[in-house]
Amino acid sequence: MGGPARLSPPRALLLGAALGAAAHIGPAPAPEDWWTYKDNLQGSFVPGPPFWGLVNAAWSLCAVGKRQSPVDVELKRVLYDPFLPPLRLSTGGEKLQGTLYNTGRHVSFLPAPRPVVNVSGGPLLYSHRLSELRLLFGARDGAGSEHQINHESFSAEVQLIHFNQELYGNLSAASRGPNGLAVLALFVNVAANSNPFLSRLLNRDTITRISYKNDAYFVQDLSLEQLFPESFGFITYQGSLSTPPCSETVTWILIDRALNVTSLQMHSLRLLSQNPPSQIFQSLSGNGRPLQPLAHRALRGNRDPRHPERRCRGSNYRLHGMPQTQEPGAPPPPVDPNARAREGAENYKSQETAGPKRRELASHRPRSLLGFVVQPSPPTLGSALGLGHSPGDSGVQVSRPKTWHFEPGRPR
C-alpha cells in the first residue's frame, strides 16, 4: 500500500517517449510551425492532423470547426447554379517569376511582387491576389490529392492560394477575416504527356535545386495561362485552410479538368526530402490533410446540365465556363435576329413534353435538387479527371482515362 506506484507498460512507454522528447537537444520550433502531416517521432514529438486542434488554442478550429477542408465531392450533391458568373484570371499579359521553395511540407512557388495575378468572378465577390502556388502529391499514383471526386483521389493537387486584396493587405490578415481567401485547386494525373507549366517547374535542372528542406531556386518566364486546361468548369464550396490554423475563411474552387505530369516528373517529386541534408531522408510525399465531413454545406457547379459544353464570351482567354475575347481587328460575329425566339420556342416545347423533372431543370433554380451522373466528354476536350459512368449502374465506377461532366440524372 505504501510502496511506490508501478506504471503499466503502455503508460511507461508513453512517459519514456515524453521524457525523450523533453531531453531532445536542439532549437524548439516556433508554435505556428509545430505541426506535421505524418505522425512520427524523430527525437521530438510533432503533432499530426489528429492533434492539430489540441496542441494550440489558436488552432482549435482544426478540431471543432464545421466548415473544414478538404472534402470528398460527390457529384450527385452538386447543384447547378446558373447565376455563377465566369471566372476571370488576370496576369497583365506578363510572364511570372518567383521562388520555388521546399518548405519541408510542400513544394511552394512564391511569385514575385510583379506582375500581380488576380482572380475574380465565379463565386468570388471581390478580386483576389495570388500569393502562393502549392503542390501536394502522394507516395503512389492515384493517391495524392487532398480533395476527392466520388471517393476517387488523384496523383497530385495544385493549389493556387489567393487573398482578398480589396479588404486585406496581406495573406495573414485575410486568413483571419471573412471572405479572406480563395483557393483554386487543379487535380493531376500521371500520363505520357505533361502540362507545359508543370513541366517548366518540374524539369531536372529546377527540381534538383530544392532536394532538401529550405532549399530555394529562382524561376522565371512562367506563363500561368499554360497551367489551366483549354476548357473547364468548376465546383465551389465554402471551407477552410487545410493547414493550421484551419481558418474557415476560404472559398474553394475545384477545376473539373485534370492536368498531366509524366511518371518521371512524379518520381522526381517523391525524391524530395522533408528534412535538411543533415537528417535522415523522409519523402515529402503524402503531404495532405485527411478528408473532413462536408455536413450540410452546398456544392455548386457552373456547368449547365442541358448544355454542358456551352461557353460564355468576354474573358482574356478560352476557358470552359469563362468568357472568350474576340480577336483584335476581327469582324463581329453575325447576329441571327430570330435566334432568341427560336431558342425560346424550343425550350417551351421541351418543357411541355419532357415532364415535371425537365421543367424543373429548365426553371434555372439553383436550389433545385439535381442528380448528377458521370459520362465521357467528347474527345476534342482533351485529358481530364478520369471518372466514367456505367449506363447500367446508378453509381459511379472508375473507367480511366475518361473525363467527367455534369448530366441530369435520377435524384438520389
344 backbone φψ class: left, alpha, beta (φ>0; ψ -120 to 50) = alpha
Mean pLDDT (the chain) is 76
CA-CA distance, 373 to 395, in Å (whole number)?
8
**What are the tens digits of pLDDT across the range 133-188?**
999 999 999 999 999 999 999 999 999 999 999 999 999 999 999 999 999 999 99
**pLDDT score, position 38:** 81
Those residues with Cβ within 8 angstroms of residue 250's Cβ, 6 or more apart along the chain or in another chain: 69, 180, 181, 182, 183, 238, 239, 240, 241
**What are the tens digits of pLDDT across the range 374-403?**
333 333 223 344 443 333 332 222 223 333
User: What average pLDDT does this structure show over 232-247?
Assistant: 96
Domain definitions of the chain by residue range? 69-301
Cell 535538411: give the residue: 276
Position with higher pLDDT, 355 vs 307: 307
Position with higher pLDDT, 10 vs 119: 119
DSSP string for 388-405: B--TT-SS-B--TT----
CATH class of 69-301: alpha beta
CA-CA distance, 318 to 333, in Å (whole number)?
17
**pLDDT score, position 5:** 44
**pLDDT score, position 232:** 86
pLDDT at 64 > cutoff 70: yes
The candidate with the shortest Cα–Cα distance to 67, out of 184, 145, 185, 178, is 178
Position with higher pLDDT, 362 vs 33: 33
User: What average pLDDT does this structure show over 14-36?
Assistant: 49
Q: Cα dihedral angle (313, 318, 321, 325), rounded to 10 degrees? A: -20
The rounded percent of the chain whose pLDDT value lies above 90 is: 60
Provide φ and ψ at 271, rounded to 5°.
-85, -5
**pLDDT score, position 332:** 53
CA-CA distance, 289 to 325, in Å (whole number)?
38
C-alpha triplet 224, 227, 232: angle, nearest 5°: 120
**What are the tens digits of pLDDT across the range 77-102?**
999 999 999 999 998 889 999 999 99
**pLDDT score, position 30:** 57
pLDDT at 48 > cutoff 70: yes
pLDDT at 358 > cutoff 90: no
**pLDDT score, position 347:** 46
